[in-house]
Every structure is written in structure tokens, then in C-alpha cells.
Amino acid sequence: MSTPTYLLTIKSLPRRRRSVSVLMILLMLLIGIVLASVGIGAVRISSGQILAILVKQVGIALPQAFEEQQEVVLVTIRLPRVVLGILVGTGLAVSGVAMQALFRNPLADPGLIGVSSGAALAAVSVIVLGTRLFGGLFQLLGFFTLPVMAFVGGLGATLAVYKLSHFEGRIQVTTMLLAGIAINALAGAGIGLLTSIATDVQLRSLTFWNLGSLGGATWATVSVGAPFILAAIIFILRLSQPFNVLLLGEAEAEHLGIPVESLKRQVMILVAMMVGAAVSMTGMIGFVGLIVPHLLRLMIGPDHRYLLPGSVLLGPCLLLGADLIARVLVAPAELPLGVVTAFLGAPFFLWLLLQDRRREKFL
């Protein structure tokens, strides 16, 4: 199959111009997917009607007719769903870039190494055990109890993987993946145990957590999780230069003035915060943090000054695209979002493993 002309044109550009061009294309792609996500569904809403409904919210009337039902669907159902998809897609993609920079390994992903499972176990514990075990926390934190506990669960899993795979100053990749498998299995067992004692109402909620979905999006949900994800993204976007230096190796980064141990602690806390908040709002959605960094490296190279902004754009594109497939493929029913991302991500992961094995063969 021949390479498309526009890709050949982009590849022929100098790296900086090529990276900027790719970012601009991703921005336009994100705008297109957002318009498709809010317009396509059981109630069709055209681009002109979307614009007219949005500006009406600030008191401006456009000469574009729309029905009251379209306004209700757009403002109360689809917009919070899209905003939640942007937040979670960005958080998971940025987490993937940060984890791969920290572990210096392209297979590091919050889902594969157990961070998402740890966060989900903590969230499910709050749902099932509720006030019996976390009554004091509910009084203290209110609506923030769930994301805070998910953050604690994600942070615990991150620290466990890091401690287990860190030996003589190096991260052992095999140990990291095996530790991730063990933590995923342990968290799965814990979730299974809690599922067995859950009530019927809680069981419906637990299904949502295990398979992942944007279907529970409301403006209240978004407002609870958004501060955690946005704060972590802003801090991580400032770490592009330290991440680039860390690619040289920890010892070399220390010699160049990067406080490596402090950087590791910051990244682990920020990733746990993002993944914990994302899991608390949508359940477990895997492979976004694995796919996005690799696609970006193929397009713009390993420079984190472009990788991180690129993940802010491509992560939401991937998640909203998968959500659109989940909504329209078996309409009027809806596929779980985690199932769609797994169908996309699992073959991609196997391809990465084959690529890694081929590289080792020629070394």
C-alpha cells in the first residue's frame, strides 16, 4: 500500500515544522470528532443548531431553528459526556507519556502495570462498603471521597510496581510487567470479593466500573473529577525538558542537574491523581495510555516538548472516537467503552511486543 501524499509531505518537513503541522492536524481532528460526538445519536443535531444552542446559553439568538428536545439533549446529556471524554482521554494519554518517560520503557501503561486496577479496587470498596467503613471520610470529603480514594489506590499500585521493579538503580521491564499482572490479578480478586457481597443496586454500578463508560456523565460528575485531572496535566506539561534529559539515563540526568528521585515522586503522585480521578468517573478504560504515545512517536519523534501537547489532543480524539463507535455500532443499545478500547489496544500491544522482539533479535 502506498503512503498517502499528505503523510509524505509532512515527513519531508523539518522536525519542528512537522511536529507543529501534526499538532495542528490533531487539533482539527479533535474539533471534528467533538462536533460528531455532540451531533450524532438518536436525536440528530446539525453543526448550525449546535452553534445556535450554545450561543443561546449566553443570551445570543441566531437565525437557526432548533427544537427544545435538541437543546435539552445537547446541554444536559451530550456536552457533559464529551467534556468528560476530553478530560479522561487527556488524563490517560498524558499519564501514558509520563509513565513511559519515568520507566524509560514504551510498554509502561497505567492499565498494564496495575494503576487503573488499584484505583478501581479503591473506588469499588467505597461503593460497596460505603459508610460502614468510610463514614468518617464521607463526612470529611463529601463528593470528593470517591476520587480521593481512587487516587490513593492508584498511588499504592504505582509505588508497589516501582519498588518491585527497581533493582540496583534500574527498572527491570520484565519484573515491572509481572508486578503489573500480579497487582491486576490481586485487584481483580478484591473486586470479585466485593462483588459477591454487593447488593443488586451496587452490582449495576460495579458493572459500569469494570467495563468503563462515559454514560454516567453529568455536569456534577465532571466538576468533581476535573480539578484533579487538570491540575495534574498542567504540572506534567511543565516537565517536558526533564523527561527529555531522563531519556539519556538516570545517572546522566543527575549529572545534568535533574533531581531524578524528586521527579519520580512527583510523576507517580500526578499520574495516580489523574488515573484515580479518571477511574472514579468512568471506570476502567484501558490502552489509551499505551496507544497514544506510540502513535505520536511515529508521527513526531520522541521530543516531549511535542509529545505532551500531542497527547493532550490525540488522547481525547481516541477516547471520543471509541465512544462514538460504542454508541452507534449496536444502536439503540450501547457497547461498554472499555470493550472498544480493548479491541483496539490489545492487537496494538501484541504488535509492540513483536516489534520489541525483532529489535532484540538484531542487537
pLDDT digits (tens, 9 = 90+) for 201-252: 777 777 766 778 888 788 888 888 888 899 999 999 999 999 999 888 878 8
Only one residue has cell 546522566, namely 252
pTM of the model as a whole: 0.83
Task: Decide if pLDDT at 363 tops 50.
Answer: no
User: What is the per-residue pLDDT for 6?
Assistant: 46
Instruction: Render 56-95 in DSSP notation, one character per residue.
Output: HTTT---S----HHHHHHIIIIIHHHHHHHHHHHHHHHHH
pLDDT in tens, 257-304: 888 878 887 888 888 888 888 888 888 888 888 889 988 988 888 889
d(CA 123, CA 119): 6
Task: Decide if pLDDT at 359 tops 70.
Answer: no
Residue 170, classed as helix, strand or coil, is strand
Name the burial class of residue 275, with classes exposed (0-12), middle (13-18) and buried (19+) by CB atoms within 10 angstroms of its CB.
buried
d(CA 109, CA 227): 22
Task: Decide if pLDDT at 10 tops 70.
Answer: no
Task: Decide if pLDDT at 28 tops 90.
Answer: yes
Task: Decide if pLDDT at 5 tops 60.
Answer: no
Mean pLDDT of 111-135: 79
Lowest mean pLDDT among 77-91, 279-293, 304-318: 279-293
